Structure 1
């Protein structure tokens, strides 16, 4: 079975106007050192086409959208389909981010539909899961994450599941400056991998990339990435600065 990929993905969220986004992408291209790590830029919709051109010459640099709609096309004003995303060069779609779950009330079932639509369009889902602080404090974090993963992914065929990247993001550590300790991250990543092994078998579990997200910074990336079951990061704030983002990539 293939060894799992190391991936560092930046999630720009709702930041950077058109020119700023192009500048950031160019800086990443100019300073990126050759490596086996897959580097993903998760840009707002207005940037996708432009960033796609800027990164096209770099083999390990990929493009992600931050969301998609679950239908192919139709009267969904303000939404974007997977076909549209594919047509501007997207490789990945970030799905089920805690901000989508919280602010836009996306359910596990809706995220599951988006995962399937993304795979059908030939792109790879970066599937996010994670718990809020009260859930962690009550000791229910594994139960909640298990429910998110099972309802979001476990009706996929093994072949489809093999294309999914999972990102664990403790919601209490996103944008708060608080990071899960490397031990907490490892514990949850190992738990998620054990869920996959139970459902799809050891081989597929060992080939699944599981990323950590939640205040990943140049100062803590190396320690987080050195954990046995942490295969990279989904980086928020630090991805908006090329030097910080590339320092995190280098830590991989």
Structure 2
């Protein structure tokens, strides 16, 4: 497939897991792809190498999504390296869990800085580069719609904030022909939440399809939303959670 030939994409948090799968899927379909990472330089290099092996341009930028200056600078640098920007995927995120009484101010600030402010600032910076047919896709969570377990409140709150942001930004950018959508994954087999982990059976028990998703499943949905086929889809949220929220 070559739906993205000539397109330029930036995936934040693209060195592993869902982000890496998205970066590779876009490259497989013809896009040149830049990605950000915070600590996983070696894994980021592996993803860039895989992108290059597909015959596409790949770039990796070290960036802390909690750093406002780094976010804007990285979006601008990625657009310069790629020769433009057509697609932004806001994937970078962190988890801070536990009972409300145990949250520290640092936990609250870090969660909001990365999961909310980072997405807002990256989207704001990307909007300056995007033209007709541009795409902004954020990775939310099934917990944004329905919290099915204890200790997930802080994370769920941060992802729920992205729903309002997505709907509002879709209105703001729609007249320019730019779509804005959000994808809500459920339990997905990554090193952060492995399908063989200690909490996996409890998570599977809540699903209509009792198995973990794969990062490639999420990447497929993102690829659809980034494509021309989804040109009339905006301001929308898409659950891909095995039916946990049915």
TM superposition score normalised by structure 1 = 0.39
Taking CA–CA contacts closer than 8 Å with sequence separation of 6 or more, which of the two structures ends up with the larger relative contact order? 1
TM superposition score normalised by structure 2 = 0.40
